[in-house]
Chain A
Amino acid sequence: GAGVSQSPSNKVTEKGKDVELRCDPISGHTALYWYRQSLGQGLEFLIYFQGNSAPDKSGLPSDRFSAERTGGSVSTLTIQRTQQEDSAVYLCASRTTGTDTQYFGPGTRLTVL
């Protein structure tokens, strides 16, 4: 079956603009994760969804970052008033109930000018 998909694959934006990043998890996977990979910070957890609820938002770096998930499927990560330090690859992963393996999408490379 299809893997995790993310869109867009690349996004270039100007400082101060809002951006939305999309993740389509593997069908039937109830758990969904967002991570960020940047040169200075490595791979960092952002937020975890179980169904449409987000029991762990501890990794969101500021209130400019938010995420939602609808219908237990697609998730959107929104970054408001982007800053240059938000430039990174944003990775989404999903996992099915009863297993520990997370399957990652190809990521969205965000560049804030």
Chain B
Amino acid sequence: SQQGEEDPQALSIQEGENATMNCSYKTSINNLQWYRQNSGRGLVHLILIRSNEREKHSGRLRVTLDTSKKSSSLLITASRAADTASYFCATADQGAQKLVFGQGTRLTINP
């Protein structure tokens, strides 16, 4: 079963705009990770944020985590056509090794 939900399920924006995706989860976590998937195949790791962190940056990516609301957001700034992909959040429970994924957000960047 899925740990959480992602919102929106699909997002279409113009190149150069910012894209924001949200993720909610249900249980206490050790960390939350964001992955990108192109063409329904392998997942590419983007960023990891730990439960004691509130915000993290990596290039054009900014991730926030609110453990009191059990939610996270991924912001992609100055979007590019190459950012078109599905984006998944995944949580790792305390003491658990497996990742539990949300259902993903399909992002389309229009030129």
**Interface residues in chain A, defined as those with a beta carbon under 8 Å from any beta carbon in chain B:** 31, 33, 35, 37, 42-45, 48, 50, 55-56, 59, 89, 91, 93, 100-107, 109
**Interface residues in chain B, defined as those with a beta carbon under 8 Å from any beta carbon in chain A:** 2, 30-31, 33, 35, 40-45, 48, 88, 90, 92, 96-104
Consensus secondary structure, chain A interface? strand
Across the interface, name the chain A residue whose C-beta is closest to B40. Answer: A89
Total cross-chain contacts (CB, 8 A): 56
Min C-beta distance of B49 to chain A, whole Å: 10
Are A89 and B41 in touch, CB under 8 angstroms? Answer: yes
Contact residues in A for B33 (Cβ distance below 8 Å): 100-102
Are B98 and A48 in touch, CB under 8 angstroms? Answer: yes
Contact residues in B for A101 (Cβ distance below 8 Å): 33, 45, 48
